[in-house]
């Protein structure tokens, strides 16, 4: 697959190279245009990677432009979060940070120009009437009674709209195109509406705001964008994009190209639904590690490198499809396997007393931090008479081929000694509360002194030196592949996974983790990859989030591709 990525171009790259070859453009200039009405999710990263990636590959520029033409839903909180996400993903817009509201005066002038050309009119129909007059996919629309107002009357009414003389929804400005067009987007679309709401940047200067379909091509033109790259739902909007540029006689106009959206199973990508999950308390916030938001993925421990790799593997096409969440997990596992130090953490501890080990003795073992990166060196891991192992690593009556600790059974403690079970204690319910064992002092370092085979190797933590930690085990937020696949009368929230978060409050980790920084990532041996929580973890109360387990069903698939 990597070889294919080096030699095959996607259709956008082919378009860009042809434009450069023919001289249609001298320099590639793209833009990433998020709307500041929520947090970016992983679906947005595809557009981000394409917009910034294409510009970078061909030595061009990419602007960050906030589409802030809807004051009712926008907030500076989202602006700051989006900027943080983009930078975390490794992309640089340098000094090219713009806002749609920067161009309010110019866009207003363009609207005046359309009116003067007889190509726009003020309409008194309300939202429901406009929808009714628009027609259907099989029936043409019909003209508004106000469609033939004079240019002078339209100019007067539009200025009065701007001056606040009318209430929200009382009047709109529409482009005059073709009410019988087979493309419903061309049936006199609304290009300005009244919204008497405070704007997070312009305050109360404006009470009319342009629609995205009108503002978008003009903002692209003002900034000198050459390739306006959009998701596939804008295909039917492209004729309108081109119509505005043509009628306003824009020189060297930008061109719009569409690519498929990123859909992923077991999650939702709708901002409305994600906001509902936050506002109604189904998750702890936009940065809940179960959320597909970039801040949620970052808090959980995903790396920007793994997300970019995932986008590369998904590819760029014109056909919508659904990617497998397991592929994203493969990408972060592949990345962390190379970069994350190995440590020992016992999530569900069971105490073991090694009865023949001296009571007051403590010794240390030199343990490799990362076998993939020998330059990471080693660390000291203490060992003592009492240790913790996983509850699952001991069974009284195990099945066949169980190679962990059992009565009279022997296992290797990772990097330490062989131990053999000599007894155990249980509570009134039959649950094992303590295991007793002996160790072989000649097996230091886990090496067999006499050639005997010990098939099981388990991890452990010295009880005397262990640090208490809370470990949060995350799973899919939804229990079905398509959360929106619901029976009539149902709700997508009916598909929420009740086991998407399991909290282990009494976990034990080795002392090398005493002063770890928030956001640090580790592989807990045999358990998976974990990240120090960036919000709740404190030196005196460590919290680890499980990023992903060790099992990788995608590894062979990707290698063979």
Joined together, the tokens standing for residue 455 give 């098939």
With contact defined as beta carbons under 8 Å apart, do 51 and 31 qualify?
Answer: yes
Residue entry with tokens 């009539």:
488
Other beta carbons within 10 angstroms of residue 63's beta carbon come to 23
- Catalytic option among 171, 271, 290, 298: 271
pTM: predicted TM-score of the whole model, two decimal places: 0.92
15 touches 25 (CB < 8 A):
no
Assess whether 338 carries a catalytic annotation.
Answer: no
Q: What is the per-residue pLDDT across 346-405, written as a single tens digit (0 to 9) for each?
A: 999 999 999 999 999 999 999 999 998 999 999 999 999 999 999 999 999 999 999 999
- Measured in degrees and rounded to the nearest 5, phi and psi for residue 228 equal -95, 100
SS3 (DSSP) at 86: helix
Interhelix angle for 212-223 vs 104-116, to 10°? 110
Question: What Å distances lie between residue 512 and 11, 177, 467, CA to CA?
Answer: 50, 69, 9
Q: Which listed residue (13, 17, 35, 276) is catalytic?
A: 35
CA dist 75 and 57 (Å) reads: 33
Q: Which of 73, 142, 196, 261 is catalytic?
A: 261
Query: 3-state class of 538 per DSSP?
Result: strand
Is 261 noted as a catalytic residue in this protein? yes
Q: What are the structural domains of the chain?
A: 28-259 (3.40.50.620), 263-344+467-561 (2.40.240.10), 347-459 (2.40.240.10)
Q: Spell out, as residue ranges, where the chain has pLDDT lower than 70.
A: 1-7, 555-556, 559-561
Helix (H) or strand (E) holding 274: helix 271-279
Classify the phi-psi angles of 210: left when phi > 0, otherwise alpha if psi is within -120 to 50, otherwise beta. beta
Q: How far apart are CA 285 and CA 270, in angstroms?
A: 15
Task: Give the per-residue pLDDT at 6.
Answer: 42
35 given a catalytic annotation? yes
Q: Which tokens sit at 192?
A: 């300005």
- Of 187, 123, 125, which is closest to residue 157 (Cα–Cα)? 123
Question: Three-class SS of residue 31?
Answer: strand
pLDDT on residue 559: 66
> H or E element: which one contains 391?
none
């Amino acid at each position: 697959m990597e070889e294919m990525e080096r030699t095959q171009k996607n259709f956008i790259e082919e378009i860009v190279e042809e434009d450069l070859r023919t001289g249609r453009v001298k320099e590639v200039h793209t833009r990433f245009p998020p709307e500041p009405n929520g947090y970016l999710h992983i679906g947005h990263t595809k557009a981000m990677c394409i917009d910034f990636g294409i510009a970078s590959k061909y030595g061009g520029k990419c602007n960050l432009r906030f589409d802030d033409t809807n004051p009712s839903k926008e907030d500076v909180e989202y602006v700051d979060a989006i900027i943080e996400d983009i930078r975390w993903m490794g992309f640089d817009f340098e000094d090219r940070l713009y806002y749609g509201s920067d161009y309010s005066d110019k866009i207003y002038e363009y609207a005046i120009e359309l009116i003067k050309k007889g190509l726009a009119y003020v309409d008194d129909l309300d939202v429901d009437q406009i929808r009714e007059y628009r027609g259907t996919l099989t029936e043409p629309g019909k003209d508004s009674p106000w469609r033939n107002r004079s240019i002078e009357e339209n100019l007067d009414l539009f200025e009065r709209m701007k001056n606040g003389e009318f209430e929200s929804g009382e009047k709109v400005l529409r482009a005059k195109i073709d009410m019988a067009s087979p493309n419903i987007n061309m049936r006199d679309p609304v290009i300005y509406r009244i919204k008497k709401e405070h704007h997070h940047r312009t305050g109360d200067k404006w009470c009319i705001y342009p629609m995205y379909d009108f503002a978008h091509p003009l903002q692209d033109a003002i900034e000198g964008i050459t390739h306006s790259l959009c998701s596939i739902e804008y295909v039917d909007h492209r004729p309108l994009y081109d119509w505005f540029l043509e009628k306003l006689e824009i020189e060297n106009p930008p061109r719009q190209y569409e690519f498929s959206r990123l859909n992923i199973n077991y999650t939702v990508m709708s901002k409305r639904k994600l906001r509902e999950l936050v506002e109604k308390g189904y998750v702890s916030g936009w940065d809940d590690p179960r959320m597909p938001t970039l801040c949620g993925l970052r808090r959980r421990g995903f790396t920007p490198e793994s997300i970019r790799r995932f986008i590369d593997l998904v590819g760029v096409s014109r056909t919508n499809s659904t990617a497998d969440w397991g592929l994203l997990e493969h990408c972060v596992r592949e990345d962390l396997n190379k970069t994350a130090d190995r440590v020992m953490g016992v999530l569900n501890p069971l105490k073991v007393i090694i009865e023949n080990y001296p009571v007051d003795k403590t010794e240390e073992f030199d343990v490799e931090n990362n076998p993939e990166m020998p330059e990471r060196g080693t660390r000291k891991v203490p060992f003592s008479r009492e240790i913790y192992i996983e509850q699952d690593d001991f069974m009284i009556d195990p099945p066949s081929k169980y190679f962990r600790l059992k009565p009279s059974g022997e296992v290797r403690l990772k990097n330490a000694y062989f131990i053999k079970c000599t007894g155990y204690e249980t509570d009134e319910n039959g649950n094992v509360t303590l295991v007793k064992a002996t160790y072989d002092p000649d097996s230091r370092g886990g090496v067999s002194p006499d050639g005997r085979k010990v098939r099981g190797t388990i991890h452990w933590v010295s009880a005397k030196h262990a640090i208490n930690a809370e470990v949060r085990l995350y799973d899919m937020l939804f229990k079905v592949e398509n959360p929106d696949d619901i029976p009539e009368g149902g709700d997508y929230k009916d598909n929420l996974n009740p086991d998407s978060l399991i909290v282990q409050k009494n976990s034990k980790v080795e002392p090398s983790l005493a002063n770890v920084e928030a956001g640090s990532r580790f592989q807990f041996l045999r358990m998976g990859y974990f990240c120090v929580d960036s919000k709740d973890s404190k030196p005196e109360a460590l919290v680890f989030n499980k990023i992903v387990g060790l099992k990788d069903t995608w590894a062979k698939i990707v290698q063979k591709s």
